[in-house]
Structure formats: C-alpha cells, structure tokens
Structure 1
C-alpha cells in the first residue's frame, strides 16, 4: 500500500527513495549501508544473497518497481521544469549579470542541499537515540509516551487517523490514555495505563458481523510485554494501594514488528473499502474463512473426526485470527511435534475457536489481500455468503449472474478424503480493482525452483513464472545448502543414535549438484480453491526438507543418553513399541549381549551414506554398504505429491568385492543397484556357472518388505532412524542364518580389516 507523499523538492524525493530501498533491503535481510553492501558483493558465496530476491519473496517486486519509477519520474519532472524555466532563460539571455546571478543561486542551492542532508542525518540519529533511551527507561510515563508514539507513527504511515485522550477510568486507579486509530470502516481503541501496561485493545467494524474477540486478543498479545507480570503494589494498613510500580526488563518484549504487519493487513482492507466502495472486502475474506471451515466439517465427518488425517490428506485445519488477522490454514507439522498431541482435545479447541489452546507449531497459510499492479481476482456480492456451493446448492444451482460455477476435479484423487468434486462460484474479474489475494506462509518455506514455478503460476501474472527461473547466479545457495546450515564448507555429518559396544555411527554426505532453491514468503492467488493446490505442493516439499535435514544434524557420540535424548530417539522408541522387532531379533540385542565375542572386540563402525536428490522434492536416494552383510544398499524414497507421505523401497545389491560390483559409491548404476557384469565372456560354461551362483546368492540376500520400511519412515520422518532399523534387522538376519548353519557370506561377525574408505564404504577408527 503506497503511502501518501508531500514531497515537493528533489531532496525530499531522494530521501523517500532511499527509505523505499532501505525498507526492501531490510525485508530481504540484506545490508543497507554502502560499506556492508560492498563487502557483501565482494564475497564469493554471499549467504542468502539471492534466494529471496524473486516475486514470491517478502517484498512485492512489482510494487517496488512501480514506486521506484514514480519517484524517479517525479525527480525528472522537477529537474525538467528547472531546465526549461530559469536555466533556459539564463542560457538564452544576453545579460551577463543574469548568468552570474544564476551561478550564485546554484551555488547557494547546492550548499543548502548539503546542509539539509547533514542536518537530516543528524536529526534521524538523534531520533533513533531518543527512542532507544525511551524504550530502556524504567519510568512508566516515558514508557507510555514511547509506546503511544510508536503506534501512532505506524498508523499514520498507513494512512490512518489517530486521536489521543487521557483520563481516569473506574476500573483503574491510575490515569489511562486511549489511543483511537480510525479508518474508513474500522476503529481500533488501545487503552494504555500510565505505567505502560496495555489494558485493552478493541477492534470495531462498520458491520457487526465482523466483530471477533480473537483479533482483539491477537493485537493485544503483540503489544503486551513480559514486564506486565512484574507489577508490585505496596499497601498500607488501611488496605488502600498507595504505590504501583512496573519494573521493565532491559529488553522489552513488545512485538512491534508483528503488530505493524497485522495493522497493515487491516489497513489494506480498509483502504480498499474506501477506494472501491462497491466491494465489501471484509465480507470476501470472511467468506473464505467460512468455506475453509465447511470443508473442515465435511472432512472431519467423513474421517470419523480423524484430525491427523485431515491435517495430512485433507484441506488442512482452519483457524481465524491465529497469527494474523483473517483466516489461516494449518497444513503440516513434523512427526516430532505431533508425538504427544491429544487429538481429541486439539479437535475441541479448534472447533471452539480457542486459538490460545493450540500449542502445536503448525506450518500455516495466512490469507490476506495486497495491492496488485494487475487485476486478478473476482469478488462476491454482499448477499452471497461463500464461494463454495453447499451440498444442496451443488444439486440445484447451475449459474450465477456475477460469475460462473466451476467443477473442481483437482479436489478429488485416490489419496483425498473427499471423493466428490467440489463446486465453486468463480466471480467475474473487475479490471478496475488493483487488488489481489495472497497466501502468506508462516514460517517461510525453502522450495525447489520447480515448485516455485508451479506456485507462481497460480496468480497467472504475466512474466511472474519466467522470472522465478531467470536468476542463474553462482551466488545462489543450492537447495541442499539452504536446508542444512550456513556452513557450506562442511563435507560430512556424523549421526549417532546408539551408544556403547557395537554402536554404528552414520556419516552422511550429499551429492553437491546445483539444484536451484527459493525461500517463499507469499503466494498470490486468484481463487480460494487454489489454497488446496498450495497445501499439496508445500506438504511434499516440507516432507522432502524434513527427510533431507534429518541426515545433516550432527550428534555428539559418547554423551549421556539421558541428557542427549532427542526427538529422534523418542520417535525410535515409539517405533520399536508399535512395529516391534522381528521374531529373528534376540530380546537381548540391546546391549549386545548376544553378539559373538569377536564382534565385541571390534571398535565402533562408521557407515558412510551418500544422499542423492535427483528429482526434488519427489525422490531421495540413500546409498551405503551394509557392514553386516557387506552388500551395496540403496534406499529409494518416493514422496507422494498429494499428501507428502513417503514410500520406501530397499534396493539390495550383491556382496562388495564380487566380480564386477562397485564398492557402493555413486559413480554408476551398477554400484547402486547391485547389478554385476560377467568378467569372462569367452568361457560360456564358466559364465553359466557364475550366473547360477549369482542367482543362488541373490536368493540368500537380506530383504525387507517395502510396507514395513514405509511405516518406519512415515512414523519417524528420519532417514537415520530408518538406516538404524535396517542395520539392526540385517544384523539379526545374519545371526539367524549363521546359527541355522546356512552358507551366508558374513564377514561382519569375524571381520577382516576393511579397506573400503571411499564414499559408501566402511570407515574404521584405529585401535588405541
């Protein structure tokens, strides 16, 4: 939303242009000073330099371009007016005195501009210093003044009117200041006590139907600080309070940034209501909220109130005024965050709208509106309560005068809860309304370039899709680098899930092929039905991100397991309880009591595992050599595009060191899949014997059903836990076959010194 400007001089326009650029740099998390920006550009791989510089980043690039062009055009107009006026007259005049006067005037203007610029810089520095001192002050009146001034500056910058009234109230012994923020259809009253404590925040609308206490609590939560609980009251013997003192912490925790964003969301709708009085924008946002709740009701009914399935396979969990004004959809959460969720209590809290009882850190899509240079969306009339047709209207309604009816075939698939296509009203687009719906991601999500293009295509903006893939810059962090850490020079990560004798340490590395990535903050869309498309794409990407990141969170071996117990180990404990060990695994395998003595004498093993991502976010491959069977193994993980649930298949190769078999690296398909070539093609009978021996060996290879592998990974969201489970199963399988007298090639239990130190091989610690 562009702010009104009163700039009339070149200097004022330049100052506003500088503020515009600095605000964009701040949202992009880039340096705003000249020295810092120069050093940043000089770096070989500047961190996060360009992963947010795209149309779906934190900044509306189209509006930034428009405002930038407007400022430049205004400066050019002033310069042109001067060139065609006094300057032209001076050049055309024959009087030398006029030219001399012009030169003197120009010198004075230049000197005055330099003084004004220096004064402006000093004034800004003094204001920042004043605000810092006021924020750190322990005096309640100073705190109150600083709080009110900060809120007033935010509101006036958004084009809202502010009024301040100070007086007494029956429910407070201290003076109370009421700051009233007024717009076209909204009024916000903020009551602040003289100690700086927020007493009440109330948002009122022109229409009573939009009143909701949750938005009051949301804004109040943004403005309240932790200092509010440090109120000390001294009472005399008479029982009357004589002194109330509020001790503020050094770092006051009022979330002004969140309040500013939420206030901007309300101000944007309010400004649209003033600019386009024939459209009720608050009504359209509320209609989307009602549609999402109706879809939630239908899916909960069809699943027997299975909230977890609605979260993972359905349209998501709707919430209103949860982290921002308006509707939002919770569409994903990690398995670690869902381990101890009481689903019945969570369902009741969501249906009651009790946002304060929802403690799960869901990934959410917040639905808002923003300015757009290209009119995209259509809007419902005031007498239509929703975009989604009810089950009754779906059978009877065939057309509407203000738009069309769409059969949403994309809402139905084998993995969806709903099995009948939804029917939506699609209002006609008004070309005069420069507004658009936007899905704001909370938190932002790192996605592959392909997913970014698919999400950009939802808004149908010309050039938006192609822009997403136009920045092939070496400064970009790859998808893998964005997901692991800021330390991109690290080459391997050790993950330890077991301690003690025979512990297997997993050492992970990844294929460093350059896969472009984008950090998405917002996704413009044209219709509420496209929210489901967003959720499906983001679920798949987040499942990919979680599985990939699970391999590159290094753990410290030798620590106390009671202290270092992580969510992974909790998930592993739950896995062993629900899935259980196979009948071939000895009950005494925990501490290695049933392990042969030769194995007890060996040092801990290190298994090198290479992660490949040939088609993110669809496929992940994990290749390694099993130290117990000494065979090449590849875990193939396919992530469903609708639900984000992974499916696993174990590709078990032949024994390492056999004829024609690679040692488990990533250099070729044969090394990964275990396909071997026949070494001597000249001797046909020898080849047949080798083939028969190979077939017999393959029949004796260790294998696990894909269903069990899939269940393990879906419950843990951790590749290291899956690898650990496979290694334990293979160890038990080797012991079982060894005890039964089967001819199994098993060098692990009486192992020779390993020399396979390349990628995918076994690394051993030297004995002390």
Structure 2
C-alpha cells in the first residue's frame, strides 16, 4: 500500500465520521456547547428519528454503505497487490510487521491532526462570540466562508483589484464583495455558469444571502442556503439529464398561479387563503427558493396588517410578519426510487383548461386532479396537474424527489404521520420506515408531553424532611369572574404516540394540498391543547409539611381555596380529531355538578362544540362553537360558558330592550322627517327673499 492509498482509507473514515456527525447534529445530538441552534437541542430525539425527521434516512442508508464499500475495495487491493508481494520476500514476517506498525503510526498522526483541526475550529467559533474587535472578527468570517466553500467542493479564488471572494461550481457562481476597511459585506451576487440558467437570475436571492452574511448570527442560515444551491447543482450534474433548478422553477410558477386563482375567488381575502386555501406563496424568505405559508392561529392573524401584506405578496418581497406563519419550504433530495420530471420546454405542472387541450397531453401525461378525498374549500373545481407517464420517452427520470421542510416542525400523532405517508406516496413506494413507527422507543415522548416540553422545570430533590416539595398546576383566571380554572390532564391520555415532522417527500404538487389539510387539523388541535397547558397557565406550588398546630388553619385555607376553583379534566380523544372537557363546578357556585364539553376538530380548519350536563345547556352549542372558532382558546370558551350560566340573560329584559330600541328608532325617524319639512320651508323662503320675486309675477317653476 502506498502513502496515498493509506490516506485514502483515512480520508474515507473521516468522511464517514463527518456523515454521522452531521446526522447527529440535525437530530440535536453532539452539538458543542455554545454552538448550533439551541432549539434543536431541546427536541425529543426519539420522536425525530424516522422517515419524516430532519435526516434523510434513505440518503444516509446509501452513503454509509458506499463509504464502507470503498474502504473494503482499497483493503482488497492492498491484500492482493502489496501484501502478496511482501509475503514472497525474504524475511517477510518482519517486513510486514514493520509496515503495519508504520501504517498504524501514520493513521494515529492523521487522526490526531484531524481532531486538532476540529478543536481549533471550535475555539475560533467560541472566540468569535467573545471578540469585540471588528477587524479580527471580520477576517475570521472571510476564512469561514472560504472554508465552507471548500467543504462543498467549490473552487475558491480572489479577484484582483477590489476585494471579491468568488466561489464557483459547475452551475452556480457566488461573488462576495466586501470592504476590508469598514469590515462589512457589500454584496453577494449569485449567477449561473450555464446559458440555460441566465434568465433565472433573481435579485431576491442576492439580497437574502447578503443580509445573512452581513449578520454573523445568521451564518448558519447562509450555510444552509449555500448547501441547498450546491445540492441542486450536484443532483443536476450527477443524475442527468434532470435539471433541478428548472423543477423548482416549475413549482414556483404553480404555487403563484394557484394563489392568483384563489385571490380572485375570495376577492383578496388573504387570511382565508392562508387557513383554508392552498396557502400563500413566498419566495426566498429565510431559505432560497419557494415556500408556502399554510397556517396561523387567529391571534397571529389579527396582529398582521393584511392590506399591506397583499401588495408585498404580489411583488414577491419579504416582510417580517411572514416569520410568524407556519411555512413549508420546497426543495429536492435523493430518492430510493426513480421519478419523472417535466421537459425544459414546460414551465408548469398545473394544467390550464382555458388554453390547453387535454387530448393533446394524454399520450405522455396523466392529468391528475388533487386527491379526491380532499374537499376543495375555495376553488369550485379541483385543479388539474400533469403527471409524466413512465411509458413516455420524452421525460427524464432520476432518483430524485421533491421535499417540503416544515418551519417550524410540527408534532403529530402517529396516525397522522401515517396519513402523511399515504398522501405523500411514501408508503406506496416501499421504503416507509415501518419499524420506526411500530416499535415504541422507551425514550420517546407522547404527544401530550411534547406539547408542554420545556415548560415544567426539572425536579430538585432535598434530604430535609421539612423542605418544601414542588408540584405543578395549570391555572387561568379572568377578571370578570371570581373563579380560577384549574386544568388537569387525564392520566390515561399520556399514551398518544407522536412524531416530530420536519420534512415530507412528495413527487407532484397535487399531493401538497392534502398534506396541508392534515397539518392544519393537527396544528389546530395543538393550539387548543396548549391554550390550557402553557407557560402562562403553569404554576409551581410548594408544599411544606405542616406542624400539628397548623392543621386546622390549613384545612380552612384549603376549603376556601377549593371554593374558588373550577376543576377541568382534559381528555385527548384520538388526536387530532377532538378534545373532551369535564368541568367540575365548585359547591359555592351552584349545586356541585359536572359539565361536559366535546370539541370536534375537522380537516377544513373548523371546530364544533357540544355541551351537556346542566339543564338544557345544549342550546348554547351554536354560540360556543362561534366563540371557539373566533378565539381558538379553551379557557376563553369555558369563561364564556360560565358567564352565561352565572349571568343568564333575562328574556323579559331582552324584550323590553328590543321594544325600547324600536320606539327610539321610530322617534328618530319622525324627527328626521320633521327636520326635513322645516328645512324645506326655510329654504323656499330664503330663495324667495334672495330672488326678490313678486307674488303677482309669473314665477319660473324651475326656480321653485
């Protein structure tokens, strides 16, 4: 084995370690202190290791065996060529031993050197956070950019004259202009080396990367975006003749066209499109490429100036409020199975009934409507999409597929994860990681636990017998009532298996709307659940063991406290389809009874509420449903119900108020008529005086 071959083995081992390390970091594991996204470190890892987690398991399962196979090939060559020659020589045993020892020492030196390099990088990153010297920090940033480009396989060179760092690939070219005197990034310009892509130049990409690179706190986002561009380039070159940039452009055109159709149907009702339609198309918001804003809570919707947003969306510009919306960002990744893509002369998957003839496309395309099970809430007829036929010869195929990344990720029940797999076609393609769903990981958290994760602080133990013990409670109080709502989760409801959904592969845009409706239903469930259990309703209670003299006072205090509490037991019924609430009213309020509320969550983002347990309370169902639809908040719903029970509207008073209102309106009407007559007479008199008309003269009727 030559020295270069020995380094090849070492290089492959380091690459394999890098693959595993990157996967660990995406799962939130093995992140050095002070680095990485802190939100990632708090996730339940066991709930994220599956087909829809942050790591593409299919790509991972291919890359690791490939590296191992390459190492085995080098070892086999060493055995057949070098080892056989050494064994045939005189004193081969000693020579072989010396050679192996030399290789071991060389490997150890290389490992130590690689570890030292990693340590230096970590030290540089930590030093940069504490560095107040702009010049030193900026030099390090330029070094980081150059190092990142080399890791991605881009060619690095500096322009003569003005300071410009250029990174070039086979398709993409980045020119980073900077000022060494003022220590700032001036402009990042993305261009394409191929003539076919020159028309795809987008200044919004330049502005996004410039902004992220100017703020080193956003360097991780810049890194992800550069990796995305490089991935699209790599997939386009390695798996020809598919052009991934063209595929993304087709998706961008489609989501923009669909938005325009729904905008026209709803008369510009953008919030309705957000929560009921195909979502709002966004371009180059945090991530390069298209994304869809598909949901927001009613509270968030009320805080946005939609008149301003309308124009910004049409122009394709960025607005800060977009970050408060649930978004799905669209890109591409490797797939285990082959998919067919549109030719370069076709720029949309969407079929246009108005100008295109369906018969002309039947030879090469399936014309696929959106999934029949999905209700079309805004458009009167389902959209139609072109789906290339495998039997046709005009399409390019490759082991690539589209993928949506959810921002933020969504916690879903296991049943919902299976529905997502079915709508996305993952199950049917045969590589659905069924074992990740069938086996219960002992470290996995339930859906209920995930939704309150991070709120309850860790328990502190004390050896002192009189030391207070802490317990947690969830309370909500409104100013209009003297009672506190106390929420308790039914102990039998902690078993809902859950997954964290980060990314969803799909093959055609017609699948996306079905995925959106599933996610909306789950998000609405999560919102209602978290309206009961959240950081504002959480209360930590210290319980101290009382002395014998304190016993009577404590009993009296507890009794008074109990009279002010409304105990509410929350049950999750087959999430995300509904919630059940058992409301135990205190004896001080009325004879102690229990009211049951059943909340049903539908996939069209609507809610239904049914109340039982206290007289003819069902007549409030319609009103309670309206309150729930308006606020999407369980405590507000219960407060409204209790307020109606404690202060029921008097029918006679309502009737009297209606009569008074009618009488007032009638008097106002008569008064207006009287004023009109008086004004009219005065006007005639004024006209006569001003015109100096003689009564005996003939008067022009037009003047009168």
TM-score by length of 1: 0.72
8 Å contact kept, 2:6–2:103: no
Cα separation, 2, equivalents of 1:736 and 1:435: 67
Which of the numbers 335, 338, 347 marks the counterpart of 1:372?
Answer: 335
Which of the numbers 418, 421, 443 marks the counterpart of 2:408?
Answer: 443
Cα separation, 2, equivalents of 1:494 and 1:316: 34
Cα separation, 2, equivalents of 1:312 and 1:109: 63
Q: Corresponding residue for 2:21?
A: 22
Q: Corresponding residue for 1:172?
A: none
Which of the numbers 215, 219, 222 marks the counterpart of 1:259?
Answer: 222
Cα separation, 1, equivalents of 2:358 and 2:83: 73
Deviations 1:223-268 (A, max 9, x none): 112xxxxxxxxxxxxxxxxxxxxxxxxxxx4311111111121112
Spell out the pairing of 1:319-468 with structure 2 (5 A cutoff): 319-356=282-319, 358-359=321-322, 361-375=324-338, 377-393=339-355, 397-408=359-370, 410=372, 413=375, 416-428=377-389, 432-457=397-422, 458-460=424-426, 461-464=429-432, 466-468=434-436
Which of the numbers 601, 608, 631 marks the counterpart of 1:716?
Answer: 631
Q: Corresponding residue for 1:113?
A: 107
Whichever structure has more helix as a proportion of its residues is 2
Establish whether residue 202 from structure 1 lines up as the match of residue 189 from structure 2.
yes
Q: In 2 relative to 1, CA 67–554 (structure 1 residues): closer, same or farther, beyond 3 Å?
A: closer
Which of the numbers 508, 514, 521 marks the counterpart of 1:533?
Answer: 514
8 Å contact kept, 1:551–1:720: yes
Establish whether residue 71 from structure 1 lines up as the match of residue 70 from structure 2.
no
Cα separation, 2, equivalents of 1:720 and 1:76: 63
Deviation at 1:532, TM superposition (A): 0.6
Describe the SS at the equivalent of 1:418.
coil
Deviation at 1:484, TM superposition (A): 1.0
Which deviates the most, 702-711 or 343-352? 702-711
Which of the numbers 44, 49, 53 marks the counterpart of 1:48?
Answer: 44
Deviation at 1:54, TM superposition (A): 0.7
Deviation at 1:166, TM superposition (A): 5.1
Deviations 1:55-106 (A, max 9, x none): 111111111121111222222233333444554566677x5x3212222332
Describe the SS at the equivalent of 1:286.
helix
Spell out the pairing of 1:477-556 with structure 2 (5 A cutoff): 477-486=445-454, 493-499=473-479, 502-511=482-491, 512-555=493-536
Q: In 2 relative to 1, CA 151–604 (structure 1 residues): closer, same or farther, beyond 3 Å?
A: farther
Deviations 1:361-416 (A, max 9, x none): 110111111122322x3211222221111241466555255422223353863x61
Which of the numbers 435, 438, 442 marks the counterpart of 1:470?
Answer: 438
Q: In 2 relative to 1, CA 463–284 (structure 1 residues): closer, same or farther, beyond 3 Å?
A: closer
Deviation at 1:442, TM superposition (A): 0.9
Which deviates the most, 255-264 or 12-21? 12-21
8 Å contact kept, 1:7–1:13: no
Q: In 2 relative to 1, CA 557–464 (structure 1 residues): closer, same or farther, beyond 3 Å?
A: closer
Describe the SS at the equivalent of 1:315.
coil
Q: Corresponding residue for 2:76?
A: 80
Establish whether residue 283 from structure 1 lines up as the match of residue 246 from structure 2.
yes
Which deviates the most, 298-307 or 438-447? 298-307
8 Å contact kept, 1:493–1:509: no
Spell out the pairing of 1:175-190 with structure 2 (5 A cutoff): 177-190=163-176
Describe the SS at the equivalent of 1:542.
helix
Cα separation, 2, equivalents of 1:281 and 1:127: 33
Q: Corresponding residue for 1:626?
A: 585
Cα separation, 1, equivalents of 2:80 and 2:579: 66
Q: In 2 relative to 1, CA 541–389 (structure 1 residues): closer, same or farther, beyond 3 Å?
A: same
C-alpha RMSD over aligned residues: 3.1
8 Å contact kept, 2:374–2:514: no
Deviation at 1:32, TM superposition (A): 6.6
Cα separation, 2, equivalents of 1:412 and 1:133: 53
Describe the SS at the equivalent of 2:573.
coil
Deviation at 1:315, TM superposition (A): 0.5
Cα separation, 1, equivalents of 2:373 and 2:190: 36
Which deviates the most, 100-109 or 533-542? 100-109
8 Å contact kept, 2:455–2:535: no
Which of the numbers 97, 100, 108 marks the counterpart of 2:94?
Answer: 100
Describe the SS at the equivalent of 1:624.
strand
Cα separation, 2, equivalents of 1:724 and 1:548: 16
Establish whether residue 165 from structure 1 lines up as the match of residue 159 from structure 2.
yes
Establish whether residue 151 from structure 1 lines up as the match of residue 145 from structure 2.
yes
Deviation at 1:327, TM superposition (A): 1.2
Cα separation, 2, equivalents of 1:383 and 1:335: 42
Deviation at 1:531, TM superposition (A): 1.3
Describe the SS at the equivalent of 2:327.
strand
Cα separation, 2, equivalents of 1:185 and 1:342: 40
Cα separation, 1, equivalents of 2:343 and 2:83: 56
Spell out the pairing of 1:172-321 with structure 2 (5 A cutoff): 177-194=163-180, 195-205=182-192, 206=194, 207-225=197-215, 253-276=216-239, 278-321=241-284
Which of the numbers 58, 63, 66 marks the counterpart of 1:62?
Answer: 58
Q: Corresponding residue for 2:671?
A: none
Establish whether residue 637 from structure 1 lines up as the match of residue 599 from structure 2.
yes
Describe the SS at the equivalent of 2:637.
helix
Q: In 2 relative to 1, CA 58–605 (structure 1 residues): closer, same or farther, beyond 3 Å?
A: same
Deviation at 1:701, TM superposition (A): 4.1
The total of aligned residue pairs comes to: 595
Deviations 1:701-724 (A, max 9, x none): 444432211111111111111111
Deviation at 1:608, TM superposition (A): 1.7
Q: Which runs of 5+ in 1 are unaligned?
A: 34-45, 169-176, 226-252, 559-600, 655-699, 740-768
Cα separation, 2, equivalents of 1:6 and 1:91: 19
Cα separation, 2, equivalents of 1:17 and 1:621: 50
Cα separation, 2, equivalents of 1:513 and 1:603: 26
Cα separation, 2, equivalents of 1:459 and 1:438: 12
Deviation at 1:120, TM superposition (A): 3.0
Deviations 1:662-710 (A, max 9, x none): xxxxxxxxxxxxxxxxxxxxxxxxxxxxxxxxxxxxxx44444322111
Q: Corresponding residue for 2:557?
A: none
Q: Which runs of 5+ in 2 are unaligned?
A: 33-41, 460-469, 540-559, 654-704
8 Å contact kept, 2:411–2:500: yes
Larger Rg: 2
Q: In 2 relative to 1, CA 718–438 (structure 1 residues): closer, same or farther, beyond 3 Å?
A: same
Describe the SS at the equivalent of 2:341.
coil
8 Å contact kept, 1:411–1:418: no
Cα separation, 1, equivalents of 2:14 and 2:117: 13
8 Å contact kept, 2:447–2:497: yes
Deviation at 1:450, TM superposition (A): 1.2
Q: In 2 relative to 1, CA 534–360 (structure 1 residues): closer, same or farther, beyond 3 Å?
A: same
Cα separation, 2, equivalents of 1:731 and 1:631: 14
